[in-house]
Amino acid sequence: MAVTALQNTARLKKRRSFLRRVRKHKLHLCMIVPVICWYLLFKYGPLYGVTLAFKEFQLLKGITGSPWIGFQNFDRLFNSYNFWNVFRNTITIAALKFVFGFPAPIILALMLNELRAQKYKRVVQSLSYLPHFISWVILTGIFMVILSPTRGPINTLLKSMGMESIYFLGDPKYFQGTLVVTGIWKGVGWGSIVYLAALGGVNEELYDAARVDGCGRWARIWHVTLPGITPVVTIMLILAMGSLVEDDFDQIFNLLNDAVLGVGDVLGTFIYRQGVKNLDYGYATAVELFRNLISLVLVLSANYFSKRINEYGLW
């Protein structure tokens, strides 16, 4: 009885302490309410629409009234040649962006961190951030002019060197590479912000000790800087793994054309055509659900192996 009374007393104290903290921070909690409502309405509420993947959607009957068809949409998905071609394009483009795009912000952050001229550093940072704020609709028009095979400055330079013009946006051999390069150019500056913040947290005493030991600039980067930002790099790597089957829909949708459809059509544009153009909502939902499941598996696997290798992870 005494033990039970003590437990009840402890619970009562915790409850009172919790209520006191709620009353103390009630204004802060009120500020959180709109955010919670937004997530419930726009993030968790639409999750019911996942059931479309297992239904034959009929517009007049709605989601709840449409008949269940089980895994027929997935059978159709896995037996479709077009889907596997699109899936292969998605993996190829995502892998290229991952291999060349993931290290790019790290390299830029390291280069900016080594600059001693602060004015020049701020100018470079501002110029590298700027493309992130320009939409792909505008950038598409800019790239169409720059990469034009007739009047574009790049092809003009190639022709002046005696080389043939390259149709970067219309030749299947160059389209995927063009997507990778333009994607890196747009996002490298914005992506470097996280790593610059991490570099600011590296202990300066470690650099001083490395200088005393006779380490040059490259040695300090390798033995002090990179180990110092390893946790951040690991977390960003895990998050990037989840995007291997994702695609930059805005970029590809605006740059894609019939000439490069065979190598540029990805899951995002495929889902758009099936869902918006063909009104095949059940099939489009099945494709999106399949893609999200793969992303989840990749993130969980990357986190597991990261914890095993260097003990850093998301959880």
Going residue by residue through the chain (315 aa), what tens digit of pLDDT does each one get? 555 666 667 777 778 887 888 888 888 888 888 989 998 888 888 888 888 888 888 888 888 888 888 888 889 888 888 889 999 999 999 999 999 999 999 999 888 888 878 888 888 888 888 999 999 999 999 999 998 888 888 888 888 888 888 888 888 899 999 999 999 999 998 989 899 888 888 878 888 788 887 878 788 888 888 888 888 888 888 888 877 787 788 899 999 988 898 898 999 899 999 888 888 888 898 998 899 888 888 888 888 887 777 777 667
What per-residue confidence (pLDDT) applies to 7? 66
CB 242 within 8 A of CB 296: yes
Q: Which two tokens stand for residue 82?
A: 């077009």
Q: Report pTM.
A: 0.81
pLDDT at 5 (0 to 100): 64
Choose among 40, 39, 65: nearest CA to 52: 65
